[in-house]
Structure 1
Amino acid sequence: MSDDVNERLREKTMQIVSLNQKMEALQAQLSGSQRRANELGTKLTELENSLTQKDSEIQMLQTQLSTTKGVLDTVGKEMQGIKSEQTQLLAKKKPESIGASLKDELTIAEMTIGRLREDLKQFSHTTTAVLNQEEGALAKLKEVLLEVGDPKYRILNMVLAKKSIRMEEIASRLVIDMTEAHKHIEALQTAGEVQIRDGSTILPAQKYLELKVPKDAWSSMEPTDVFQELEEFIGKTDDTASIVCAMETAVEIIEQKLARSGSLIFQMRRTIDAWKKQPGNIEELTYTIKDWKGRAQALG
């Protein structure tokens, strides 16, 4: 009897052990399923984010391509207009008047058409790069749109790039006459984008010439480093207001940081006052700043 009981107990024990093993196996399977479910959820989220990003890129491309189409239409109309004008001119010209003037007009027309063809070629290459999602293609497209779009934007780009450019050069590069160039430049001047010096030299507007003085960065520097930064700042601009502001910032910082600097501060303030009354020579100012730097180093 006792043996039967023991046997049944062993069987029950074995059954319990077997059930426990099955439960552990099921638990492991459940954990694996949960892990896979989490991984799938993460992948799904990534795919959704990727789709959202692609949608944004597609919308951006559609906007850029729409803008490009508008510019291309404008360029096409310009070419048609030029051809039409030339046809009318040829029809109106009397045989005896066909000479140097007509040749000049034809030369200008050929140059204009050549420029427009180059513009179209640029558009073609750039839009293809955008469609192929090449790196930097969108930035290049924006650059091309500025270069070959509205003449005013093209002129502004030239002025900002060269800092100073004569009206004759602008007219030559755009293949337009001086009257038209002057009209676009006056519009830019009215909009506060450029300024005209001596009637024919075009400069960026004052807002483009002014540099912001990094006062916070200078405040954490040693006096000699402040003078070094001031020297580099002066070398980047010829705008008097920016130069005076930079010197005033430097003198304020040096006065706080450098003990026994009364004589140096006095000289700096005197130089600032002189520049406020009349702009001086930048090269001479650079040498003066080097001298200030040496004196600050000796005091430090």
Structure 2
Amino acid sequence: IAEDTAFDTVVAPTFRPDEAFVSHPNFAKFVTRLQEVTGVEVRSFDSFVKALEQRIEFFVANGCKASDISFGEILYKRASKEELDAIFTKVIRGEVPTLEDIQQWQTEVFSALCGLYKKHHLVTQVHFGAVRDTNRKYFEKIGVDAGFDSTGDQTHLALALNQLLNALEESNRLPKCIFYNLNPSYNDILANTLANFQANEEGIKGRLQFGAAWWFSDTEKGMREQMLVLANQSLLWNFVGMLTDSRSFLSYQRHDYFRRILVSLVTEWIESGRIPYDEKLITEFLEAICYKNAKEFFELN
């Protein structure tokens, strides 16, 4: 589509390094492929990050504006370079990583990536909270992404996320982020945690975004709840609004559905007297959420 000159819509790639984490079953194959396409000999954590940056630069050169990653849980456990090199060597040899290995690798690789995303002006998207491929019988028959995933839960989400964001902020590696939470019981935790790290010297409005309702919450109830929590805990005006799954073209109707729900919610606020009936103000508010905020946030010219 990107090469079709008759197609006016800009089609840009998104950087998605899910296989860069030792918890992924294809990690070793990913490292082999990474070496082939970059020419970088990957033998350590530092050389691994160097190769990843080379790929990020390639994506940016081809119009990339955002990254995306999916985590089952938000984790935070620091590690030294020596520990990371040992984890890398272990997994490349075919050994199974321990829970601590997974925690440390996810923390440090994601932190390194965030620094690169900030350097290259990429918006960082994080989808978290899914339990994947739970029906092993039908997973073996049909494969991944076939309807056998669930909403997950985790302990100490608030602590882990605050620690992670604080470490990124202290090391000047905190980029513009959108966090999409699959478990609505964590909506308040996510919204007020992100509010702790909104201040920035660049003057970015809503630098850390509580992303639109996702997956099982792609419903009227889910979208309303997400926007109500955001309005209560932060500033709804700065919300970048709805997104869609580029792999599922039928899901583009989600934007229309979202806008109808947003307008219905705002209408309720007007009729109940909670916000003024000012047509100019309301128009600016809706245009910001449905279009202008995203255009500014993703630096779209």
Q: Structure 2 length as normaliser, TM-score?
A: 0.29
Question: With CA pairs under 8 Å and 6+ residues apart, which has the higher RCO, 1 or 2?
Answer: 2
Higher Rg of the two aligned structures: 1
Q: Which has the higher helix share?
A: 1
